[in-house]
């Protein structure tokens, strides 16, 4: 009713007689509801000033800190055929226990005497190498003897040359004396011939002088021939020196060639021995791999190859073993923008899958069913999923993690950061700013070797 007229009829109308007016009066806000709204608003306003712990939420999986504590898959290094099983799923095994035995499947390894035959070849080739080595020693002795023989023969030849030269000197002096004697006998013959013509000397004396002269001439000729012979002998000895050198050099070169050939054969034989030894070691290692053993203490959880006589490939998983004792950890991933806020030893709250929990992310102390942890390691490189991986270890100051937690289970994590007011946290979330970075008092007192990178608040 617009009440346009100055004359009002409101007092003449009874509201209870009109259903619409009754319903309209019922829909009006009551004073109780207003009090409740005012109370909630006041409580909400004061709640904005309550403390709130900033956190980074992420999802990860339960894992282990040590690589040795993770589930181990047992593989065979060689191809083969399963002969015997010694374990079944659920069995507890110790490191070194026999799991299974396999037999050979390749044709080139089926010889049962393969190791013995290969060892025999190694022994034979080794003896051959020793024979070549002894031959090299003998040839070396022969080479030394040839060199010494060469020196001795050359020395003998030089001695003969010196002897011939001495003979030439001696014969030359005799030749000079013979020529003087020849001249004297000639002069005597001439004088005797003159005296004979005068009748002073007899014919016999003349013939004696003539004979003496002829003997002197013969002596001179004899000595000249002897000297020529000795000179020729020197020439022959000089030529013989070259022949001796050439002959013995040929023998020395031949001996060296045989020595090098023997050395080459020795090296080839030793290379063959090394090759056979390598093959023997491979055969021996292959035979040792016929027995599959457990690498760790653990429990057999899954057998992939089950049948007797079933073929397996090299490197193929045969079964898996879970360690009995292991140190649990949580592997989780955080966004790159949160990386500057993380550090080793930082507190973390963890919610394990299957474990009942009531969580107040801003009030971790009031949460129920969460467990404490500390950041153990932070990767320096980004993962394939575009986030950084961190490892969280149990916090020794908190309650131990449940024994029911198993490797591979899911885990929600709350990485605790700075403590702020709720209104500030709402403002930060509405603006999309990252959480605040803070340091413990212990860290503030330390003198860092390099400047600490901080994330400043954005106004």
- Looking up residue 307, the CATH number of its domain turns out to be 2.40.50.100
How much helix, strand and coil, in percent to the nearest 5, is found in the chain?
Answer: 50, 20, 30
Whether pLDDT at 441 is above 60: no
Residue 60: inside a domain, yes or no?
Answer: yes
Whether pLDDT at 275 is above 60: yes
The closest of 110, 147, 367 to 244, measured between CA atoms, is: 147
Q: What is the pLDDT of residues 293-312, one digit of tens each?
A: 888 888 888 787 767 777 87
Residue 118: inside a domain, yes or no?
Answer: yes
pLDDT attached to residue 2: 55
Whether pLDDT at 368 is above 70: no
CATH code for the domain of 437: 2.40.30.170
Please indicate, yes or no, whether residues 261 and 301 belong to a single structural domain of this protein.
Answer: no
Of 288, 310, 339, the position where a domain reaches its end is 288
pLDDT attached to residue 436: 63
φ, ψ dihedrals at 435, nearest 5° = -60, 165
C-beta of residue 434 within 8 angstroms of C-beta of residue 420: no
How many domains is the chain built from?
3
pLDDT band at 21 (very low <50, low <70, confident <90, very high): low
Q: Tell me if residue 305 falls in helix, strand or coil.
A: coil
φ, ψ dihedrals at 286, nearest 5° = -65, -40
pLDDT attached to residue 457: 36
- Tell me which residue range forms the domain holding 222: 114-288
Please indicate, yes or no, whether residues 313 and 334 belong to a single structural domain of this protein.
Answer: no
Please indicate, yes or no, whether residues 335 and 349 belong to a single structural domain of this protein.
Answer: yes
pLDDT attached to residue 18: 67
Q: What is the pLDDT of residues 104-138, one digit of tens each?
A: 877 777 777 778 888 888 888 888 888 888 888 88
> Measured on CA atoms in the order 247, 248, 249, 251, is the torsion positive or negative?
positive
Please indicate, yes or no, whether residues 82 and 146 belong to a single structural domain of this protein.
Answer: no
Please indicate, yes or no, whether residues 275 and 127 belong to a single structural domain of this protein.
Answer: yes
Contacts of 399 (CB under 8 A, 6+ apart): 371, 372
Residue 332: inside a domain, yes or no?
Answer: yes
pLDDT attached to residue 221: 86
Please indicate, yes or no, whether residues 266 and 391 belong to a single structural domain of this protein.
Answer: no
Please indicate, yes or no, whether residues 247 and 330 belong to a single structural domain of this protein.
Answer: no
Please indicate, yes or no, whether residues 251 and 134 belong to a single structural domain of this protein.
Answer: yes
Rounded to an integer, what distance in angstroms lies between the CA atom of residue 56 and that of residue 416? 7
Laid out side by side, the sheet with 311-312 consists of: 291-293, 98-103, 80-85, 311-312
Please indicate, yes or no, whether residues 215 and 92 belong to a single structural domain of this protein.
Answer: no
Q: What is the pLDDT of residues 392-410, one digit of tens each?
A: 888 888 888 887 787 788 8
pLDDT attached to residue 12: 64
pLDDT higher at 188 or 69 = 188
Rounded to an integer, what distance in angstroms lies between the CA atom of residue 171 and that of residue 228? 10
């Amino acid at each position: 009713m617009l009440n346009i007229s100055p004359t009002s009829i409101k007092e003449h109308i009874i509201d209870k007689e009109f259903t619409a007016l009754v319903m309209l009066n019922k829909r009006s806000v009551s004073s109780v509801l207003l009090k409740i709204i005012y109370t909630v608003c006041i409580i909400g306003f004061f709640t904005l000033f309550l403390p709130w712990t900033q956190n980074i939420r992420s999802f990860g999986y339960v894992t282990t800190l040590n690589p040795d504590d993770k589930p181990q898959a047992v593989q065979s290094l060689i191809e083969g055929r399963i002969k015997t099983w010694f374990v079944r799923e659920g069995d507890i095994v110790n490191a070194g226990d026999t799991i299974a035995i396999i037999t050979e499947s390749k044709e080139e390894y089926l010889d049962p005497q393969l190791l013995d035959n290969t060892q025999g070849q190694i022994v034979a080739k080794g003896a051959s190498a020793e024979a070549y080595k002894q031959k090299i020693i003998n040839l070396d002795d022969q080479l030394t003897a040839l060199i010494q023989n060469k020196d001795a023969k050359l020395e003998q030849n030089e001695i003969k040359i010196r002897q011939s030269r001495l003979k030439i000197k001696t014969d030359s002096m005799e030749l000079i004396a013979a020529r003087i004697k020849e001249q004297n006998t000639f002069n005597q013959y001439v004088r005797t011939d003159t005296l004979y013509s005068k009748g002073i000397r007899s014919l016999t004396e003349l013939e004696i002088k003539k004979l003496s002269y002829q003997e002197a001439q013969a002596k001179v000729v004899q000595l000249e021939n002897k000297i020529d012979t000795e000179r020729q002998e020197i020439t022959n000895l000089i030529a013989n020196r070259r022949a001796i050198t050439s002959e013995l050099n040929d023998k020395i070169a031949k001996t060296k060639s045989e020595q090098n050939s023997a050395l080459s054969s020795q090296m080839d034989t030793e290379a063959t021995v090394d090759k056979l030894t390598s093959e023997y070691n491979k055969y021996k290692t292959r035979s040792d791999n016929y027995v599959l053993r457990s690498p760790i203490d653990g429990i057999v959880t899954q057998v992939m190859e089950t049948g007797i006589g079933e073929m397996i490939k090299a490197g193929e998983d045969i079964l898996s073993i879970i360690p009995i004792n292991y140190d649990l950890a949580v592997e989780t991933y955080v966004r790159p923008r949160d990386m500057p806020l993380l550090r080793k030893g930082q507190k973390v709250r963890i919610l394990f899958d299957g474990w009942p929990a009531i969580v107040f992310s801003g009030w971790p102390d009031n949460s129920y069913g969460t467990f404490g942890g500390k950041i153990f390691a932070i990767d320096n490189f980004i993962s394939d999923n575009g986030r950084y991986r961190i490892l969280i270890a149990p916090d020794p100051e908190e309650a131990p993690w449940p024994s029911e937690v198993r490797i591979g289970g899911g885990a929600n994590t709350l990485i605790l950061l700075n403590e702020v007011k709720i209104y500030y946290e709402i403002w930060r979330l509405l603006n999309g700013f990252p959480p605040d970075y803070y340091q413990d008092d212990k860290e503030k007192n330390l003198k860092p070797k390099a400047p600490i990178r901080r994330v400043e608040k954005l106004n």
